[in-house]
Amino acid sequence: MVIKALKKKRSLKKATKLKTKSIDEKKLELKNNCNSYIVIDYPFESENIKGFHYVIRVGASNEGYVELSFNNGEWLPCRFASGYWWFDWSYFTPGDHFISARLVNPSGDVILQTENRKCRVC
């Protein structure tokens, strides 16, 4: 009996110490629990790119459309074909570049965004 009472008291203490989540935290949690995804398939992280033309491939869920940004610049639209999003990249300069992709819903709200993918043009 005494042991049960002590366990109940401890669980009540734990319950009162739990932090309540703000509305913004709950929205973020709901957003992160959905089935949306976006990933830059090619180029790989730190890949060396040679030549004058490169096709970037992005995999994403189909809630909207995909855009790319190079070196934190403007967002450019990708084209959809064969189950992937593609971007024909040409006229790039030698050196390090950072590519980021984002999934945007039809009303223009960003659903998800990737971290920067580093690559090097030789």
Q: What is the DSSP string of 23-42?
A: HHHHHHHHHHHSS--EEEEE
Give pLDDT tens digits for 65-111: 999 999 999 999 999 999 999 999 998 899 999 999 999 999 999 99
| Interatomic CA distance for residues 40 and 56, integer angstroms | 8
The tokens of 115 are what? Answer: 């971290």
**Residue 24: pLDDT above 90?**
no
In this prediction, residue 21 has a pLDDT band, given cuts at 50, 70 and 90, of: very low
With 60 as the cut, is the pLDDT of residue 48 above it?
Answer: yes
HSE-CB of 6 using CA atoms within 13 angstroms: 3
Angle at 21 between CA 25 and CA 111, to 5 degrees: 15
Q: Provide the token pair at 36.
A: 């949306």
